[in-house]
């Protein structure tokens, strides 16, 4: 398959073999969030956004496996560096109990390890003075450990979250979620979680805001924490947890005044600011972190997906000094994942993919806006974290089905939004092709 000429080719989707695999899979699998009856054939040709399913259909994937496949399929920018290493069994060890060699220290070691990945992560977070990382397995674990270090550091009891938030599926992170109620229904929650509006009118000011965050020359956050009239003692707040761009909540992009107010209040009240970058980080928005796009100064960054591991990044003083306060058997011991994380960061830097994400994201927004897609109420994004919002959920779902039938993989989020996550090295041709397919899908729906 040549990336420069590849296009979706669909005959029967899902095909007979694909349906057989799906049925077999669900004989043992618990119900979960499967979006398509699409079975990727990892032995068949695939490159960039293009992949082949088990029935021979060629598809164009603009989901990036929910953001966890930053450079698409079979990227030579990833595979060529990895091919130099002789991988071993076991490829995972008890990484919080044993050490792996570090290529940054030992020239002859070959495979970069967890220490190398942590060094890269602190390097791309150094603008916030971050110098310490705790590695885990998932985004939810990264956020969960962010909560733990903040509770330990402050001895506070309150956590502040935002309306529309999604931070994971562990019981702790579920307690912060304020998106779809199915995520939390009937599950126990950690106590003392407060919430504030998330200002999604990205062009609003404090004077024009109508979401309820700003009012009467103040904000709901400032009022909550007011010394005499507030209902939460700022000294008892362990953390304010926020997605710089809300993911599952609908790819909601906040206004600059909202983020400035978050920054000002957290700074003035000395509240640790935890930024959930699980979906928005690692170059997706054209900067290493979406937080870099705004006025906020995070104290803790939670990363995963594109980083290939879960990572809680902060300053040394925020982490517990006492051993065993944090630990994870597999967290820092996945040889392959650590190496993938290292070469991913190196590839983004070496190939100027932050700049590519900015330019191609702008191009995609222009393509979709110029086409005046029927039923679309908004096209928005930063870098290659893009959203197309429709008039209704029914319309959105119909467009998603039509896109799938044409070989374009996209995913919904929020109530009526489609998210687009092309690979960070996406080309101008691929952006135009994706826009054309989405236009046809919208017309058909």
Query: Of the given ranges (22-26, 48-52, 125-129), which has the lowest mean pLDDT?
Result: 22-26
DSSP bridge partners of 61: 409
**Tokens for 376?**
């679309």
Least confident among 85-99, 254-268, 276-290:
85-99
DSSP assignment of 181-227, as one string? GGGTTT----S-EEEE-----TT--TTT--SSSEETTEEHHHHHT-T
Evaluate whether 285 touches 357 at the Cβ level (below 8 Å): yes
* pLDDT value, residue 84: 86
Q: Mean pLDDT, the chain, as a whole number?
A: 95
Q: Are 116 and 342 in contact (CB under 8 A)?
A: yes
404-441 tens-digit pLDDT: 999 999 999 999 999 999 999 999 999 999 999 999 99
What's the whole-number mean pLDDT along residues 294-298?
Answer: 98
pLDDT tops 90 at residue 361: yes
Mean pLDDT of 297-307: 97
pLDDT at 279: 96
Q: How large is the average pLDDT for residues 241-259?
A: 95
How far is the C-alpha of 398 from the C-alpha of 248, rounded, in Å? 19
272-289: average pLDDT: 98
Handedness of CA 51, 362, 278, 182 (dihedral sign): negative
pLDDT band at 59 (very low <50, low <70, confident <90, very high): very high
Q: Which SS3 state, helix, strand or coil, does residue 366 take?
A: helix
What value does the mean pLDDT take over residues 327-346? 94
Asked if 58 contacts 10 with a C-beta cutoff of 8 angstroms, the reply is: yes
pLDDT at residue 204, as a whole number:
87
Cα separations (Å) of 99 from 118, 126, 234, 287, 331? 13, 24, 40, 31, 12
DSSP 388-432: EEES-HHHHHHHHHHHHHTTEE-EEETTTEEEE---TT--HHHHH
Q: Let me know the angle formed at the C-alpha of 115 by 112 and 116, rounded to the nearest 5 degrees.
A: 45
Torsion of the alpha carbons at 39, 2, 68 and 409, rounded to the nearest 10: -50
Q: Is pLDDT larger for residue 103 or for residue 156?
A: 156
Let me know: does 198 contact 160? Beta carbons within 8 Å. Answer: no
Question: Does the N-terminal peptide bond of residue 14 adopt cis geometry, omega within 30 degrees of 0?
Answer: yes
What angle is formed at CA 136 by the lines to CA 67 and CA 132, rounded to 5 degrees?
Answer: 100
| Residue 33 pLDDT greater than 90, yes or no | no
Instruction: For residues 34-54, give the mean pLDDT.
Output: 93
Give me the phi and psi of 333, to 5 degrees please: -125, 15
Q: Are strands 310-314 and 300-303 parallel, antiparallel or unpaired?
A: antiparallel
Q: Burial-class residue 73 by CB neighbours within 10 Å (0-12, 13-18, 19+).
A: buried
| Segment holding 61, helix H or strand E | strand 58-61
Q: Give yes or no for residue 287 having a pLDDT over 90.
A: yes
Query: What whole-number distance in Å separates Cα of residue 337 and Cα of residue 100?
Result: 13
Range from 21-30, 137-146, 292-301 carrying the lowest mean pLDDT: 21-30
Inform me whether the pLDDT recorded for 327 exceeds 90.
Answer: yes
pLDDT value, residue 203: 87
Provide mean pLDDT across the span 364-379: 94
Grade residue 110 by pLDDT with cuts at 50, 70 and 90: confident
pLDDT in tens, 60-73: 999 999 999 999 99
In this prediction, residue 130 has a pLDDT band, given cuts at 50, 70 and 90, of: very high
pLDDT digits (tens, 9 = 90+) for 162-221: 999 999 999 999 999 999 899 999 999 999 999 999 998 888 888 988 889 999 999 999
Question: Would you state the structure tokens that stand for residue 403, as one six-digit string?
Answer: 């896109």
Length of the chain: 445
- With cut-offs at 50, 70 and 90, classify the pLDDT of residue 88: confident
Q: Is the pLDDT of residue 108 over 90?
A: no
Share of the chain above pLDDT 90, in %: 88
CA–CA separation, 195 and 175 (whole Å): 11
At residue 56 the predicted structure's pLDDT band, cuts being 50, 70 and 90, is very high
- The string over 319-345, giving b where at least 16 C-beta atoms fall within 10 Å of a residue's C-beta and e elsewhere, is beeeeeebebebbbbbbebbbbbbbbb
CA distance 96 to 89: 18
Please give the backbone phi and psi of residue 61, each rounded to the nearest 5 degrees, phi first.
Answer: -100, 110
- The answer on pLDDT for 86 being more than 90 is no
Domains and CATH numbers, the chain: 16-75+354-444 (3.90.1150.10), 114-350 (3.40.640.10)
The C-alpha atoms of residue 276 and residue 252 are separated, in whole angstroms, by: 14
């Amino acid at each position: 398959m040549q990336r420069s000429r590849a296009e979706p080719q669909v005959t029967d989707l899902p095909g007979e073999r694909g349906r057989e695999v799906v049925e077999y899979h669900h004989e043992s699998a618990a119900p979960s969030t499967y979006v398509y009856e699409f079975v990727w054939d990892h032995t068949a040709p695939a490159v960039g956004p293009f992949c082949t399913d088990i029935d021979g259909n060629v598809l164009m994937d603009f989901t990036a496996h929910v953001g966890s496949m930053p450079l698409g399929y079979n990227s030579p920018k990833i595979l060529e560096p990895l091919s130099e290493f002789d991988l071993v069994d076991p490829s995972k060890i008890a990484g919080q109990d044993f050490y792996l060699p570090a290529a940054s220290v030992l020239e002859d070691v070959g495979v970069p390890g967890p220490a190398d990945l942590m060094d890269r992560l602190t390097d791309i977070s150094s603008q916030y003075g971050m110098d310490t990382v705790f590695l885990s397995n998932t985004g939810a674990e990264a956020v969960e450990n962010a909560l733990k270090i903040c509770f330990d550091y402050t001895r506070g009891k309150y956590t502040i979250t935002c309306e529309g938030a999604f931070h994971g599926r562990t019981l702790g992170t579920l307690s912060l979620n304020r998106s779809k109620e199915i995520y939390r229904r009937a599950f126990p929650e950690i106590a003392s979680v407060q919430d504030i509006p998330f200002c999604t009118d990205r062009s609003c000011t404090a004077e024009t805001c109508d979401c309820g965050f700003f009012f009467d020359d103040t904000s709901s956050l400032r009022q909550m924490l007011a010394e005499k009239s507030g209902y939460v003692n700022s000294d008892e707040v362990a953390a304010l947890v926020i997605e710089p761009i809300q993911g599952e909540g609908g790819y909601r992009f906040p206004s600059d005044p909202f983020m400035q107010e978050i920054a000002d209040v957290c700074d003035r009240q000395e509240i640790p600011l935890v930024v959930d970058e699980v979906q928005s980080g690692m170059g997706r928005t054209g900067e290493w972190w979406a937080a870099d796009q705004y006025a906020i100064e995070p104290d803790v960054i939670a990363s995963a997906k594109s980083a290939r591991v879960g990572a809680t990044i902060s300053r040394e003083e925020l982490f517990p000094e006492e051993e065993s306060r944090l630990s994870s058997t597999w967290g820092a011991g996945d040889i392959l994942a650590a190496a993938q994380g290292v070469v991913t960061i190196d590839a983004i830097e070496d190939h100027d993919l932050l700049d590519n994400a900015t330019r191609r994201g702008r191009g995609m927004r222009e393509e979709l806006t110029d086409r005046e897609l029927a039923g679309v109420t908004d096209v928005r994004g930063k870098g290659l974290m893009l959203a197309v919002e429709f008039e209704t959920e029914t319309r959105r779902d119909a467009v998603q089905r039509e896109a799938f039938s044409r070989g374009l993989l996209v995913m919904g989020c929020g109530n009526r939004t489609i998210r687009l996550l092309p690979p960070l090295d996406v080309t101008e041709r691929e952006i135009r092709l994706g826009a054309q397919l989405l236009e046809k899908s919208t017309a058909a729906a």
